[in-house]
Copies of this chain bind each other. A is one copy, B any other.
Amino acid sequence: MNRRDFLGSSAILGFGLANVSSWSNAKAQTTSEMDKREIAKLRISSQMGVAPGDSEEKKLANMKKFGCEAVEYHGGVVGQGAKYKKMADDAGLEVSVICWGSHGGDLCKGDPKKIDNLKVDLKKALETAGELKARGVIYVPAFAHETKMTNQEIRQLCLDFLPEMGEFAKQCNTHVILEPLCRMEAFFLRQVADGASICRDCGGVDSGVSVMGDFYHMYTEETSDMGAFISAGDYLQHVHLAGGTQQPSRTLPGQNPRTFVDGFRGLKYIGYNGFCSFECGCQGDRIVEFPKSIQFLYDQWEQA
């Protein structure tokens, strides 16, 4: 069957030629893949606890000094957007995200009042993220010990709950960011592709609901970091940097054998230029090891 025959049969079958046209454009995507590699960029961020320094100001100054472009704040900054925005501004840093959490797993307790309280507090966090010009608020539906609900039940709760939160996030120019975790921490959402499928079912890439990947959890749960990030695609709004479960576990990248090349290749494939942020421990002197890890990551990016 040649292309003309196929166009004929497709018209008879009554589906839009727009689709056929997108198929014929597929080869051109090879060029767009190169374009995506061009726009992809390793932009490093760090949680406060990982950076060297004995005060918040010194930690921020060291992040900037050693090549970070952003800081990842904890949930304690909610309601203090102006103060923490200024602190980041003064250090010459952007704010990547607020690492918020599960609100005690309140979505998955079977108590509508708990969900109402969760909504109020998550909206406050999203408002602060908006003030900070952050990419989003990291949200976990429930840690393993916080719920007895099945995966089916929790997924449905997510589809009922997240679209409203995503809509509110959009009004704040930010995102709700789902974090897949290893099975021990949250069996419900273990893989990046599964998080992406929740985003899609919540309304797609414009829903304000997005996903992240954490290299520590991915080491346990993913068979391919690259496959996982390609499945995340445009739903990906954040990445956590940490070594895997090899000893020393969950430490600075480069301090254990976990490779980042395959994952970075995936980030390049999808044209990711959001932030990759340290959430990990450190073996040894932070003032030595922190910049060493950043150099290691740039080497891995180069190889990807």
* B303 close to A9 (CB less than 8 A): no
* B261 close to A223 (CB less than 8 A): no
Q: Decide if A32 is an interface residue (CB 8 Å cutoff).
A: no
* A246 close to B15 (CB less than 8 A): yes
Known: A26-B259, A223-B231; 4 extra A-B contacts, CB below 8 A, are: A10-B254, A191-B194, A193-B222, A199-B223
Residue from the list B231, B248, B254 in contact with A222, Cβ < 8 A: B231
Q: Decide if A300 is an interface residue (CB 8 Å cutoff).
A: yes
- Name the B residues within 8 Å of A152 (CB-CB): 187
Q: Decide if A295 is an interface residue (CB 8 Å cutoff).
A: yes
- Name the B residues within 8 Å of A262 (CB-CB): 26
* B223 close to A187 (CB less than 8 A): no
- Name the B residues within 8 Å of A19 (CB-CB): 257, 259
- Name the B residues within 8 Å of A303 (CB-CB): 23-24, 26-27
Residue from the list B5, B16, B228, B257 in contact with A193, Cβ < 8 A: B228
Contact with B along A265-297 (1 / 0, CB 8 A): 010000000000000000100000001100110
From 187 to 235 in chain A, residues with beta carbon under 8 angstroms from any chain B beta carbon are 187, 190-191, 193-194, 196-197, 199-200, 221-224, 226-233, 235
* A26 close to B257 (CB less than 8 A): no
Q: Decide if A22 is an interface residue (CB 8 Å cutoff).
A: yes
Q: Decide if A42 is an interface residue (CB 8 Å cutoff).
A: no
- Name the B residues within 8 Å of A235 (CB-CB): 223
How many angstroms from the CA of A220 to the CA of B64 in the assembled complex? 44
A207 nearest CB across to chain B (Å): 13
From 170 to 199 in chain A, residues with beta carbon under 8 angstroms from any chain B beta carbon are 187, 190-191, 193-194, 196-197, 199
Residue from the list B15, B24, B228 in contact with A231, Cβ < 8 A: B228
From 137 to 156 in chain A, residues with beta carbon under 8 angstroms from any chain B beta carbon are 150-152
* A151 close to B197 (CB less than 8 A): no
- Name the B residues within 8 Å of A24 (CB-CB): 303
